[in-house]
Structure 1
Amino acid sequence: MTSDQTHSSAHENDLGGRFPLYDPASFSGSAKTLYDHAISTIVPEAHKAGFTAMLDDGRMIGPFNPMFASPDIATAMLGLQKAESGNTALGPATRQVVILSTGAVWRAPYELYAHTAEARMVGLSSETIEALIRGEPPPELGEADLTAQRFTLALVGRRQVEDDVFEATRRAFGEKGIFDMIILAGCYQIICSLLNALAITAPQDRGDGRL
């Protein structure tokens, strides 16, 4: 094995953080069902956006790997995320503003890595993404999305939303939009807490959905 191969193998072994990377050959029952779902949905979506969710040997990485420790609960959580993304009043760019603003508070490397790719795909510029990750208002962002950023940083960072921020958000997105924003931020707080508690890192990838 060359030194480059040794380094790559060592890096792959670090991607599970405090959990092992689970071998899909060992899956049965609900874990196998969850894995098949990931192969048909999560991996192609990651490929399309340009981030890695699965290694070449089929092992999942990021927040997806630890889901196999409790596949029934993980499946229910993914169901909530699917319901959110399929029924939200928020546009694609606004959703990424909320997700990256949540990541700005939690500093979870994989979440910021994956949603930098997702944000680029929906048209946010590199400068805008970098400002969102720093928790700063991007000059290029429209007023509604700046309001979404302020709301998310208040909710996630300070755990309180001031009256003026709330009313500005209601004017921009309505009551359904506020509810949807809270659920979206909550979903990604779960993801970020999982990533941070397990010390899961971001990969060094080739940008095609696999490492």
Structure 2
Amino acid sequence: MTSHPAADAKNWGGRLPRNETLELDDDQRAASDQVRGRTARWAEHSGFAPTDDQGGLIGPFNAFVLRPGQAQGFNQWVQHDQRHSSLSATIREVVILSVGLAWDADYEIYAHVAVGRTVGLSETVLEGLRTGSTEGFTHDEAAAYRFTDQLVRTHRVDDAVYATAEEAFGRDGVLDMVHLIGMYLATSALLNAFEIPAP
């Protein structure tokens, strides 16, 4: 069962006002309803809290309500990727956590450690992602980690790392990894720019 943080324990909006404290316009109210109806249910099922103990949105979800147009486009990108990616659920979580850890994006790490456990990532892999050790990783987990970590930290991928990733995932898989990296770079930037905390 997902544990929800106390509403008054921390400023869960970071630098942003909580949408529960604002007079929302129609688009913002619709965005809030959509987040609560779809995204929040997925988060709960995946083992992390999208709300505080009084139902106020936390993490990036508060920010999504404040700028609903951008959030809608971003969420369509995420949903399309989830439905059509050639990558397995575990490899997707290796990629997402590699980005979040490189950016030290607390809420992203918190949320996707929970998702990783839900989809079957081992504790060895979760710890290895934190420490940079691929001991105990499968070949594909190590390939995804090295590709993502190198691209995020150095902004390039060397030939050997690229070749290993292409051998593991094919051209479509490498393209899917790069799109997924972009999504979670954007998420990490949002979380860090506004100092949005994790439970």
Q: TM-score range by the shorter chain?
A: over 0.9
Separation in 2, partners of 1:24, 1:123: 38
Instruction: Quote the residue 1:185 is aligned against.
Output: 181
SS in 2 for 1:160: coil
Alignment check: 8 A CA contact 1:89 1:176 kept: yes
The reply to whether residue 142 of structure 1 matches residue 138 of structure 2 is yes
Count of residue correspondences: 195
Alignment check: 8 A CA contact 2:95 2:180 kept: yes
Q: CA RMSD for the aligned pairs?
A: 1.7
SS in 2 for 1:65: helix
TM-score (norm 1): 0.87
Separation in 2, partners of 1:9, 1:29: 25
Pick from 138, 141, 166 the counterpart of residue 170 of structure 1.
166
Pick from 150, 156, 160 the counterpart of residue 156 of structure 2.
160
Separation in 2, partners of 1:108, 1:196: 6
Separation in 1, partners of 2:83, 2:136: 27
Unaligned ranges ≥5, structure 1: 1-6, 204-211
TM-score (norm 2): 0.92
Higher mean alpha-carbon deviation, 182-191 vs 19-28, is at: 19-28
Instruction: Quote the residue 1:11 is aligned against.
Output: 9
Q: Give percent identity, aligned residues only.
A: 34
Counterpart of 1:179 in structure 2: which amino acid?
L
Instruction: Quote the residue 1:4 is aligned against.
Output: none
CA apart distance, 1:59 = 1.9
Separation in 2, partners of 1:48, 1:140: 27
Separation in 2, partners of 1:149, 1:86: 22
Which residues in structure 2 correspond to 1:41-120 (within 5 Å)?
41-120=38-117
Separation in 1, partners of 2:54, 2:84: 34
Q: Return structure 1 stretches of 4+ with deviation > 6 angstroms.
A: none
Over residues 33-55 of structure 1, what are the superposed CA-to-partner deviations in whole Å (9 max), with x where a residue is unaligned? Answer: 21111112111111111111012
Counterpart of 1:55 in structure 2: which amino acid?
D
SS in 2 for 1:11: coil
Separation in 1, partners of 2:28, 2:131: 36
CA apart distance, 1:86 = 0.7
SS in 1 for 2:18: coil
CA apart distance, 1:175 = 0.8
Q: 1 or 2 for the larger relative contact order (CA 8 Å, sep ≥6)?
A: 1
CA apart distance, 1:24 = 7.5
Instruction: Quote the residue 2:32 is aligned against.
Output: 35
Unaligned ranges ≥5, structure 2: none
Over residues 12-40 of structure 1, what are the superposed CA-to-partner deviations in whole Å (9 max), with x where a residue is unaligned? Answer: 4x111111111187333221221111112
